């Protein structure tokens, strides 16, 4: 070993990743070619950007391209790029650790995915380490664009790698793969050419295979729509989105004013966040005059559109803008607004054209639009028209829009109502919908924890207020089709009613803010309502859970208990107060707990069960 050679252990996570790559990934092996070409292309993009912003770069005359040389006799494949290259320190860090944020999770998720469905691996992008799918030994020679001396990195992918000086290199990176015996075919030209055509057709630099350029360098998004075939669009999607399937939607648009924009955006079929892969990185790249300025840009679209894949190109951006300067650049903000509005308009059009297809999209990506409503005030109006919820009038599993709800609203109704619950059946058997059903008023069912926040943030739609049915001040007297005076014959008379209400207030003093005679219960004896017009029970539950997660004590506010003076149980309770007050107090506490559970809120289960047994014992006469 010469004095300039150093040996390094791979980081633990890298070892695990290499182990998966070497031992479990045999199908879809071709992707290693894509991964290495894509790294080369990234390095070339960076080089192109640097040469625009820096005065001097090393080896400025070397053309920006990728070359691939094969040796069938020696069983090697060599991929060379004239990109930015890597210094010694960069070789050690970049090719020894996993840069991916939360790399621990990444490897665990990858291991799981590898067991389930190997085709998912392509989506993960295992990057450089994919080389070990086909090679038993990998040599990386690299020289940075800063002109410092070059180095050679060598490893067999097991425990460690070495780095030694390597004089006389040009700028860029050369990767030499000594192929495994069962991977010799990757030294054959036809094989490699097929893979490049399949996966790397849109790489924006010439790829020379054995001296011959095998791709056509073109920026698809700058071509006219009418000239592009579906197949070209789909191939481009696979390229830009690292995808294996076809997109659900695509939007290709150009504008000259107020800004010059060429954008090609794709909605994938799958939501990877839903599949337990953690938060996805943004998938849209920002270009200026076909030159990549910001890959996976965090600036060009709002965070909640991170599921989109594609390209935005604007000639109006200064070519030499640095990535940091993009963040609060006024032009970028303007671009973001224009593109976001255009995309939301596109979704509205798609929904109009084919609601079922839109619902497929909604079921997969609706959660992102909901995130948009709660985090981004700017696009609320557009988003409000795109949200979908189930309701008492919608079919099971087929949500409806707020626009349709408003169209169905009856005379005298000026409010849109909603109620949260874990599922349709639970909501429909609960107390909150009773009067809505009786009066034939549609009510939206919110079944996801975020939903009440979404509707709360919207506040209103089309001039109609959005109101949760668990609000204490809800007044349904003017709305609906049926006049519903409760039959006074059946009700507890007003004196006995008042007496019971005050007794309950006293008995449940520690638990409730107030006890009120209900004007909207039909069958249920009681229900919990929120005196605070802002919070709903569902929101309180979410916030309590989040406080507990942070190790804090969950806060709960006191609620109002509404009682139904026509309910047989409540009527009997009035009598029981007179004959056996202490037992009546147990029953009252149980009624309160039951209503609390129906509101989706938490009760003390031990105390509740103990009390429940006491009551049952009495009921069976024990």
Indicate whether 127 belongs to the interface with ligand ADP (CB under 6 A).
Answer: yes
Q: How far is the CB of 66 from ligand ADP (least distance, A)?
A: 9
Q: Which stretch binds ligand ADP (CB under 6 A): 84-92, 109-117, 210-218, 274-282?
A: 84-92
User: Half-sphere exposure of 377 toward its Cβ, with a 13 Å CA cutoff?
Assistant: 1
Which residues does residue 77 pair with via DSSP β-bridges, in sequence order? 70, 177
Return the number of the residue (84 or 588) whose C-beta is nearest ligand ADP.
84
According to CB under 6 A, which residues from 98 to 117 bind ligand ADP? 99
Structure-block tokens of residue 6 = 């150093």
By CB under 6 A, residue 133 contacts ligand ADP: no
Tokens standing for 74?
A: 């020696």
SS (H, E, C) 235-250: HHHHHHHCCCCCCCEE
Q: Mask of contacts with ligand ADP, 23-52, x by CB under 6 A?
A: ----------------xx--x---------
Task: Please list, in sequence order, all residues whose beta carbon lies within 8 angstroms of the beta carbon of residue 422, skipping any fewer than 6 positions away.
Answer: 447, 600
The residue (of 162 and 481) whose beta carbon lies closer to ligand ADP is 162
Q: Is 173 in the site for ligand ADP (CB under 6 A)?
A: yes
- The residues, any chain, with a CB within 8 Å of residue 62's CB and separated by 6 or more, are 82, 170, 171, 172
Nearer residue to ligand ADP within complex by CB, 13 or 428 = 13
| 255 phi and psi angles, rounded to 5 deg | -145, 150
Alpha helices in 446-600 (DSSP H): 451-458, 494-507, 537-549, 568-579, 581-598
Is 379 in contact with 340 (CB distance < 8 Å)? yes
How many residues at the interface with ligand ADP, by CB under 6 A? 16
- Cα gap 405→417, rounded to integer Å: 10
Tokens at 20, concatenated: 């998966």
Shortest reach from residue 150's CB to ligand ADP, in Å: 12
**Which residue of this chain has its Cβ atom nearest to ligand ADP in the complex?**
127
Nearer to ligand ADP, 103 or 556 (CB): 103
Give the whole-angstrom CA distance, residue 77 versus residue 69: 6
- Of 269-298, binders to ligand ADP (CB under 6 A) are none
> Is residue 86 close enough to count as binding ligand ADP by CB under 6 A?
yes
Count of Cβ atoms closer than 10 Å to residue 454 Cβ? 24
Task: Closer to ligand ADP by CB, 129 or 358: give it.
Answer: 129
From the list 128, 307, 365, 445, which residue makes contact with ligand ADP (rule: CB under 6 A)?
128
The SS3 call for residue 157 is coil
Please state, in angstroms and rounded to a whole number, the distance separating the CA atoms of residues 173 and 152: 10
452: its two tokens: 């009440």
- From the list 231, 155, 179, 211, the residue with the least C-alpha distance to 29 is 179
CB of 157 to ligand ADP, least distance (A): 13
Q: Least Å distance between CB 601 and ligand ADP?
A: 45
Q: Are 317 and 269 in contact (CB under 8 A)?
A: no
Q: Which is nearer to ligand ADP, 10 or 236 (CB)?
A: 10
Q: Which is nearer to ligand ADP, 35 or 452 (CB)?
A: 35
* Least distance to ligand ADP, CB of residue 63, Å: 16
* Residue among 41 and 340 whose Cβ is closer to ligand ADP: 41
Which residues, 53 to 82, sit near ligand ADP by CB under 6 A?
81
Identity of the residue, 35 or 390, whose beta carbon is nearer to ligand ADP in the bound complex? 35
Which residues of the shown chain bind ligand ADP in the complex (CB under 6 A)? 39-40, 43, 81, 83-86, 94-95, 99, 125, 127-129, 173
């Amino acid at each position: 070993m010469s004095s300039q050679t150093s040996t390094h252990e791979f980081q633990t996570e890298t070892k695990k990743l290499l182990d998966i790559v070497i031992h479990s990934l045999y199908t879809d092996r071709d992707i290693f070619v894509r991964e290495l070409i894509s790294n080369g292309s990234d390095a070339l993009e960076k080089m192109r950007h640097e040469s625009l912003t820096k005065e001097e770069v090393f080896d400025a005359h070397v053309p920006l391209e990728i070359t691939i040389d094969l040796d069938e006799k020696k069983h090697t494949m060599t991929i060379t790029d004239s990109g930015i290259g890597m210094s010694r320190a960069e070789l050690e860090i970049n090719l020894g650790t996993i840069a991916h944020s939360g790399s621990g999770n990444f490897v665990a998720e990858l291991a799981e995915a590898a067991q389930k469905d190997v085709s998912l691996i392509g989506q993960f992008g295992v990057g450089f380490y994919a080389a070990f799918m086909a090679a038993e030994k990998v040599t990386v020679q690299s020289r940075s664009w800063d002109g410092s001396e070059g180095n050679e990195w060598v490893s067999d992918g097991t425990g460690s790698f070495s780095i030694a000086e390597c004089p006389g290199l040009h700028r860029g990176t050369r990767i030499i793969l000594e192929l495994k015996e069962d991977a010799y075919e990757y030294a054959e030209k036809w094989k490699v050419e097929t893979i490049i055509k399949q996966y790397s057709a849109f790489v924006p630099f010439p790829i020379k295979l054995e001296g011959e350029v095998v791709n056509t360098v073109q920026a698809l998004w700058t071509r006219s729509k009418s000239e592009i075939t579906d197949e070209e669009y789909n191939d481009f999607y696979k390229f830009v989105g690292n995808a294996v399937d076809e997109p659900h939607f695509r939007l290709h648009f150009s504008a000259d004013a107020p800004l010059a924009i060429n954008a090609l955006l794709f909605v994938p079929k799958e939501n990877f966040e839903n599949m337990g892969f953690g938060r996805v990185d943004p998938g849209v790249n920002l270009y200026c005059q076909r030159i990549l300025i910001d890959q996976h840009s965090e600036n060009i679209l709002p965070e909640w559109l991170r599921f989109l894949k594609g390209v935005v190109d604007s000639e109006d951006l200064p070519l030499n803008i640095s990535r940091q300067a993009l963040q609060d650049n006024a032009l970028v903000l303007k671009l973001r607004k224009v593109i976001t509005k255009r995309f939301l308009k596109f979704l509205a059009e798609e929904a109009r054209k084919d609601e079922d297809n839109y619902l497929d999209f909604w079921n997969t990506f609706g959660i992102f639009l909901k995130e948009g409503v709660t985090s981004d005030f700017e696009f609320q109006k557009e988003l409000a028209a795109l949200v979908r919820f189930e309701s008492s009038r919608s079919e099971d599993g087929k949500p409806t829009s707020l626009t349709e709800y408003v169209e169905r609203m009856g005379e005298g109704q000026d409010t849109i109502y909603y109620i949260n619950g874990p599922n349709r059946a639970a909501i429909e058997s609960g107390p909150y919908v009773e009067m809505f059903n009786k009066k034939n008023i549609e009510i939206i069912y919110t079944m996801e924890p975020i939903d009440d926040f979404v509707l709360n943030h919207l506040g209103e739609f089309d001039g109609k207020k959005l109101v949760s049915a668990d609000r204490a001040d809800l007044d349904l007297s003017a709305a609906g089709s049926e006049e519903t005076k409760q039959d006074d014959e059946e009700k507890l008379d007003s004196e006995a009613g008042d007496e019971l209400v005050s007794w309950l207030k006293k008995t449940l003093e520690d638990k409730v803010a107030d006890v009120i005679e209900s004007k909207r219960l039909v069958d249920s004896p009681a229900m919990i309502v929120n005196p605070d017009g802002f919070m709903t029970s569902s929101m309180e539950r979410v916030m309590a859970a989040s406080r507990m997660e942070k190790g804090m004590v969950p806060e709960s506010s006191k609620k109002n208990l509404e009682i139904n003076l026509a309910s047989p149980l409540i009527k009997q309770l009035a009598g029981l107060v007179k004959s056996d007050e202490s037992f009546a107090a147990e029953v009252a506490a149980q009624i309160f707990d039951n209503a609390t559970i129906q509101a989706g809120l938490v009760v003390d289960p031990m105390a509740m069960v103990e009390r429940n047994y006491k009551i049952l014992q009495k009921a069976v006469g024990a």
